[in-house]
Amino acid sequence: MPDLTPYDKELIDYLVHFIDRERPTLIREWIENFQKIESKTYTNLPTEDVAKGSENFLDTVKDLMVEKDDQRVMAIMEGSMRSVIQRRVIQGVGLEYILKASLLHRDVLLTRLISDESYRSLPDDQKLAITNLVYHYFGLLHNGIANMTHEVAIGEIDRLRRFNENIISSVTEGIIIEDHNGVVTYANPKFASMLGYQKEELIGEHWEKVVAKDQLKLFREEASKRSLGMDGKFEGNLVTKDGTLLPVLISARPLYESGRFRGVLSVIMDVTDLRRMQNELQRSKKETERLNTELETHAKQLEQDNIKLRAILNIEPQKEQESKGEKTFVLEPGYIYMLLSQETETSFRIFEDLVKHAHPGLLVSRILPDTIRKVYSLEKTPILWLTTNKVPNQHCVTPSNIVDMSSAIINFMEKTKNGVILLEGIEYLLSQNQFRSILNLIQLLNDKIMLNKSMIVMPLDPEVIDPKELHQIMKEVRIFEDTRVKDLRRMPITHF
């Protein structure tokens, strides 16, 4: 036997640990299933005797699995099984039933193994490898039992062969046996159905008949390893009877008789669904990577936009050159002053008068900033333009972005004292937002302005708002009334 690979050692360690851990349960189940053995002598054996024999049998299985030398394996079988066989023969149990008992041990072990949670969590290829190991070492045990017993008849061997073939025929993986020339001598029904053949159509044919032409080199290289005594596991494509490619996982091991290479036993697993899932997983992985890349790009762009927006909305207070003469309007700090009118000229005149008499100002407006500066000669006063446009070197904010707009206004108020803000364009904000959002904005500014001793001038056309909503706003503001505004004479800004 070839040296064990780390992979083989891992599987063997798992099986040895499993046997030790499950030993009491395995023995109990073997005793409970003795009705499967037809020999009355065997089923009538004392429970203690059967349990002791099962203990010895388990020790033999465990010892075989950790060995890699054929001679050592045979020595272990002869040393541990001879006394058991002799005792069973004395008790009147024939070879046929001893072999049946061994098969029962194997079946119970496999049944317990398949129900084990650790086994279920293993990948399919490891499950298959473990199953192969169990079949292999139990096969060695069977051979050892037969070699040590000289009572075997040709008829009993034939019955045992048919019994094993029935087991192989019932497994869910394809199994084929080929001779030393590569000619198929056995194919179970599952393998034949995988390829769309009757098993009789495959027996007597060379295995190359069902291999994809572009993979013949791979399969031939693997076949050469079997003749050297090497087990193998590899993936490849077979061809069905109708010409369809069938992806499979093949586990193959050489068969020997009297020390001579006689052929190969191969277990074939259809991995079509596994390949499909792997491909889907790969596609999902690529799609996830693409989405993550897009998300990172969007996140970086958003961060850049936020940096730019913070720079735009971080408005520094600046004072206009002071005008000579006294102020026309005097407003008490800490309040929002609302002018109920269809025109906004008065609001602009009030704002102009205050900023040109030492009050730092901020103008929030729907009107183009260049037009405002031209009409009112505002050179330094920052203007926050309510627009969906993004204009370089302008403080722009979209009308639906109430959060950033309120942040800019509050930030300005906190940087100055006795500042004045003209909030023009409430009608435009109402058209782009829910009324509750605008009312919340006014309430928030009202709370902040009380602390910062600034002033807000807010024109509003009462005809464009529901009376109930207007009443709610009026609770938060002071209504501006001044007879001096009647004497103001200047063309409204909306004419420009």
Distance CA 332, CA 399 (A): 29
Q: What is the pLDDT of residue 351?
A: 93
**Is the pLDDT confidence value at 153 over 50?**
no
**Is the pLDDT confidence value at 475 over 50?**
yes
Rounded to the nearest 10°, the torsion over CA 15, 19, 21, 24 is: 160
Res. 17 pLDDT band, cuts 50 70 90: confident
What are 7's two structure tokens?
């992979």
Residues 54-78 have a mean pLDDT of 81
Distance CA 95, CA 396 (A): 97
What CATH architecture is 172-276? 2-Layer Sandwich (3.30)
Going from the C-alpha of 228 to that of each of 2, 81, 132, 232, 253, the distances in angstroms are 10, 30, 19, 11, 10
Question: At 268, is the secondary structure helix, strand, or coil?
Answer: strand
**Is the pLDDT confidence value at 115 over 80?**
yes
Q: What is the DSSP string of 383-443?
A: EEEE-S---TTSEEE-TT-HHHHHHHHHHHHHT-SS-EEEE--HHHHHHHS-HHHHHHHHH
Distance CA 479, CA 338 (A): 5
Which of 389, 367, 332, 384 shows the shortest CA–CA distance to 493? Answer: 367
The domain defined by 1-170 folds into Globin-like (1.10.490)
- CATH topology match: 172-276 vs 335-495: no
Q: Are 364 and 405 in contact (CB under 8 A)?
A: yes
- The structure's pTM equals 0.41
Residues 419-444 have a mean pLDDT of 92
Q: Are 146 and 99 in contact (CB under 8 A)?
A: yes
**Is the pLDDT confidence value at 490 over 50?**
no
**Is the pLDDT confidence value at 245 over 70?**
yes
Residues 287-308 have a mean pLDDT of 78
Residue 198 sits at φ, ψ, to 5 deg, of -85, 145
Distance CA 385, CA 371 (A): 12
What amino acid is encoded at 418 in this protein?
Answer: N
Q: How far is CA 481 from the centre of its chain?
A: 66
Res. 466 pLDDT band, cuts 50 70 90: very high
Distance CA 345, CA 489 (A): 9
Q: What is the pLDDT of residue 83?
A: 75
Domain-wise residue ranges, the chain: 1-170, 172-276, 335-495
What are 466's two structure tokens?
């529901």
Q: What is the DSSP string of 24-72?
A: HHHHHHHHHTGGGS--HHHHTS-HHHHHHHHHHHHHHHHHHHT---HHH
What amino acid is encoded at 140 in this protein?
Answer: L
Mean pLDDT of the chain: 83
Q: What is the pLDDT of residue 150?
A: 53
Distance CA 248, CA 270 (A): 5
Res. 163 pLDDT band, cuts 50 70 90: low
Least confident of 4-18, 380-394, 402-416, 448-462: 4-18
Q: Are 148 and 82 in contact (CB under 8 A)?
A: yes
CB burial of residue 23 (10 Å; 0-12, 13-18, 19+): middle
Q: Are 237 and 246 in contact (CB under 8 A)?
A: yes
What are 245's two structure tokens?
């490619």
pLDDT, tens digit (0-9, with 9 covering 90-100), for 305-342: 666 656 566 788 888 888 888 888 889 999 999 999 88
Helix and strand element counts for the chain (H, E): 18, 12
- HEC sequence for 318-362: CCCCCCCCCCCCCCCCCEEEEEECCCCHHHHHHHHHHHCCCCCEE
Residues 6+ apart with CB under 8 A from 216: 208
Distance CA 116, CA 132 (A): 17
- CATH for 335-495? 3.40.50.300
pLDDT, tens digit (0-9, with 9 covering 90-100), for 252-280: 999 988 788 889 999 988 888 887 887 88
Distance CA 335, CA 59 (A): 94
Distance CA 23, CA 65 (A): 16
Given the structure tokens 């029904």, which residue do they identify?
Answer: 189
Q: What is the pLDDT of residue 152?
A: 37
